[in-house]
Structure 1
Amino acid sequence: MFWFSPKAPPKTRETPGPPDGPQVFSSSIDRLTYAIGDIHGRNDLFLKMLLDIRNDAEAVGEKPRIVLLGDYIDRGPNSAEVLTSILRLQTQTWCDTAVLVGNHEFALIKFCLDSSCGWLWLEHGGTATLASYGILVGADKSDFSQWPELQQKVIRSIPKSHMKLMCEAKIKFIAGDYLFVHGGVNPDLPLDLQDAETLLWIREAFLSSPKSCDYVVVHGHSAKVVASNLEWRIGVDTGAYATGILTAVKLLGTTREIIQVSTR
């Protein structure tokens, strides 16, 4: 199975790069759509992005679809607030939403089912999520005798609405010529034969392939300082928790545009 792979955060950069503006590609989508990359506890940037998207959609004159690509929790300071903001967004009428699961949400859910899975999750940002729910974890994470107790504390502390949101999030979403997924796809397998762990965790085999599948893949998961906007894939994880920059892509007809918000 896939699990967390070691990766350094992208080089810190607190201001967005110069916008490219809309670009025309052969792929198309059915309606105005914005796909937002990994938020990782940065609720401040998430709310800022939503405001920009709402204003932009009003200028276009269409009700937008917002696709959230997963990894709402861990690493950044406000994981619980991000999930609350997503729940609030789902009740609003100015947009439609599609919520995808990321490997970090998957890891939290797995820990709630099996306490032995906790160590790697906490080592890869889970302690920040626990802190956002008022749970502080000691420095010694190797004492496995404490994991069942921590597991039960987590289950009691996380609101049922937050757990329901994560458990019901989609693995993938398709619209027009685009496939939205957290991690990517295995370029050597048909899409309908790929399991959830591949779609959530795959990295290099997908990123280095010249073409992945019959769709243009819109993904997060693999943080880069500069977003990727290629013919066959769009990567919008710019490491918001470390760089202070949250990235999305705007899709309208045959055009694509990378949009960003920052702490400044």
Structure 2
Amino acid sequence: MRAYAIGDIHGHLSLLEAAHALIDRDMAENGAAPVIHVGDLVDRGPDSRGVIDHLMRGQTAGADWHVLLGNHDRMFLRFLDDPAEPEPGLRSDLSWLHPRLGGAATLASYGVHAPGDRPMAGVHADAIGAVPKVHRDWLESLPLHLQFGDCAFVHAGIRPGVPLSDQAETDLVWIREPFLSDTRDHGHLIVHGHTALDRATHYGNRLNLDSGAAYGGPLSAVAIEGRRAFLLTDAGRLPLDP
């Protein structure tokens, strides 16, 4: 099995375009394969709308791109449906528009004025008018997990010991422990993001692609062959060994 995967994007369109350019170059040398984006398309970065537009255009044009739902993408949808509805997995003292979450940057990319500095009701009403229905419909259609060969792709991780088909949605988009510290083989190499690191890291039983694009870090694009992974760089492939 060959595939490519891209970590958490968080509204950074220019980084996404650069990641796709690295993948295109690698495909030219090694052949085409599906590209999986592990979620968290929106929040914190400057152009969440542009990221969604870019991914939708690519799929419409026939690119073999697959996109998973991340917890930030789900928070965006939940806000549009009902900003007062609690988000499972999020601390009760936080909301999607809290500066730590970055929802205001997402709404600003759609042209919503001062989304972090006005009463919620007005911001919500403006967001409903600003976010195209096709974006909402597309986000609502995103899968929570995908399997290709030896790999299972999810946003955050899995509940260890639970079959993939029985995983809870909130675990798939929010989990950290006990997943991150579990060293057992999960039956597939779990390819995920969600927990930011300095660089993409292979742990043997899982591969974390979130290299902190949300916080000024790079956006990682990797080539995967079986359970082996290679970070794509301007200088070529860099093996990611467990």
TM-score range, shorter chain: 0.7 to 0.9
Is the counterpart of residue 116 in structure 1 residue 91 in structure 2?
A: no
Is the counterpart of residue 59 in structure 1 residue 29 in structure 2?
A: yes
Q: Which 10-residue stretch deviates more, 119-128 or 79-88?
A: 119-128
Give, as a single letter, the amino acid of the residue that structure 1 aligns with 2:152. L
Is the counterpart of residue 129 in structure 1 residue 102 in structure 2?
A: no
Task: Measure the CA separation in 2 of the matches of 1:35 and 1:138.
Answer: 32
Instruction: Report the counterpart of residue 48 of structure 2 in structure 1.
Output: 79
Q: How many residues align?
A: 225
Instruction: Report the counterpart of residue 24 of structure 1 in structure 2.
Output: none
Q: Which whole-Å deviations, capped at 9, do the CAs of 1:42-96 have from their partners, x for residues lacking one?
A: 1001001111111110111x22200011001000111111111101111234x41
Deviation at 1:212, TM superposition (A): 5.8
Task: Measure the CA separation in 2 of the matches of 1:87 and 1:190.
Answer: 30
Instruction: Specify the SS of the correspondent of 1:250.
Output: strand
Instruction: Report the counterpart of residue 105 of structure 1 in structure 2.
Output: 73
Is the counterpart of residue 249 in structure 1 residue 219 in structure 2?
A: no
8 Å contact from structure 2 (residues 150, 226) kept in 1 = no
Match of 1:163 among 122, 128, 136: 136
Instruction: Report the counterpart of residue 48 of structure 1 in structure 2.
Output: 18
Task: Measure the CA separation in 2 of the matches of 1:111 and 1:193.
Answer: 26
Instruction: Specify the SS of the correspondent of 1:148.
Output: helix
Instruction: Specify the SS of the correspondent of 1:122.
Output: coil
Deviation at 1:255, TM superposition (A): 3.4
Q: Which 10-residue stretch deviates more, 99-108 or 153-162?
A: 153-162
Q: Which whole-Å deviations, capped at 9, do the CAs of 1:152-179 have from their partners, x for residues lacking one?
A: 3212101122112211111000111110
Task: Measure the CA separation in 1 of the matches of 2:74 and 2:185.
Answer: 23
**TM-score of the superposed pair, with normalisation by structure 1:** 0.79
Instruction: Report the counterpart of residue 91 of structure 1 in structure 2.
Output: 60
Evaluate the alpha carbon distance shift between residue 249 and residue 48 of structure 1 in structure 2; reply closer, same or farther with a 3 A threshold. same
Q: Which runs of 5+ in 1 are unaligned?
A: 1-28
**TM-score of the superposed pair, with normalisation by structure 2:** 0.86
Match of 1:192 among 165, 169, 190: 165
Q: Where in structure 1 do 4 or more consecutive aligned residues deviate above 4 Å?
A: 138-141
Instruction: Report the counterpart of residue 205 of structure 1 in structure 2.
Output: 178
Give, as a single letter, the amino acid of the residue that structure 2 aligns with 1:121. W
Is the counterpart of residue 239 in structure 1 residue 207 in structure 2?
A: no
Task: Measure the CA separation in 2 of the matches of 1:76 and 1:179.
Answer: 27
Instruction: Specify the SS of the correspondent of 2:179.
Output: helix
Give, as a single letter, the amino acid of the residue that structure 1 aligns with 2:95. L
8 Å contact from structure 1 (residues 246, 260) kept in 2 = no
Q: Which whole-Å deviations, capped at 9, do the CAs of 1:15-67 have from their partners, x for residues lacking one?
A: xxxxxxxxxxxxxx2xx31110001011001001111111110111x222000
Deviation at 1:188, TM superposition (A): 3.8
Evaluate the alpha carbon distance shift between residue 211 and residue 98 of structure 1 in structure 2; reply closer, same or farther with a 3 A threshold. same
Identify, as 1 or 2, the structure richer in helix. Answer: 1
State the structure with bigger RCO (CA 8 A, min sep 6), 1 or 2: 1
Deviation at 1:120, TM superposition (A): 1.1
Is the counterpart of residue 154 in structure 1 residue 127 in structure 2?
A: yes
Task: Measure the CA separation in 1 of the matches of 2:7 and 2:233.
Answer: 10
Is the counterpart of residue 39 in structure 1 residue 14 in structure 2?
A: no
Task: Measure the CA separation in 2 of the matches of 1:133 and 1:217.
Answer: 33
